Amino acid sequence: MRRLGFSYKSTSKLPVLLDDVSFVAQRAFYFRRLTELRESGVFICFHDETWLNAEEEKRSIWIDEKDEGRLRKHDGKGKRIAISAMLGVQRFVEPFNVWTCDSDHAMNSDHFHKWIGDAAGRLRINYGAGSTIAIIIDNATWHNVVCDDAKPPWRAWRKDQLQQ
């Protein structure tokens, strides 16, 4: 890192959790695995979601010579859209979905499972059934839902529930 121009200095009196040994080990494993996938010719997609509130604006915008432009402040409440996309090595990969969020159609585990199933199907069609595809996702709560038969038993479970 020093050859690249970095120097190792303390940031402040606050501890930096990302330098913990477990985080360093996880990062090393991730990058080793990513290198293995690339070397074996696997098509790699990175997936993420983001949200945009209606009438949300930047602090600095381009305006014309007459100083006219949209310079309003908004409280950020109201309609919201979600954007879910996958990025390949050089470009966005289909599907690229944008939808309005409401009580029935917000990002949750059910919507994510439906979306990722559709996305995997489209990737199979676009890149061939024989190709190996890896989708790298972040650690959002709706990505980590365990199905019912994989959940560990609770103390309150009855005998018939345990026998299933």
pTM, to two decimals: 0.61
Say yes or no to pLDDT of 30 above 70: yes
Q: Is the dihedral of CA 149, 152, 155, 156 positive or negative?
A: negative
- Which DSSP symbol is given to 149? G
The answer to whether residues 69 and 62 touch, using CB atoms and an 8 Å cutoff, is: yes
Mean pLDDT of 140-163: 73
* Stronger pLDDT, 161 or 76, i.e. the higher one: 161
pLDDT, one tens digit per residue, over 48-101 is 888 777 666 555 555 556 655 554 555 556 677 778 888 887 777 777 777 777
Q: Where are the beta strands (DSSP E) in 22-111?
A: 43-53, 80-87, 92-101
Say which residue, 63 or 145, is predicted with more confidence.
Answer: 145
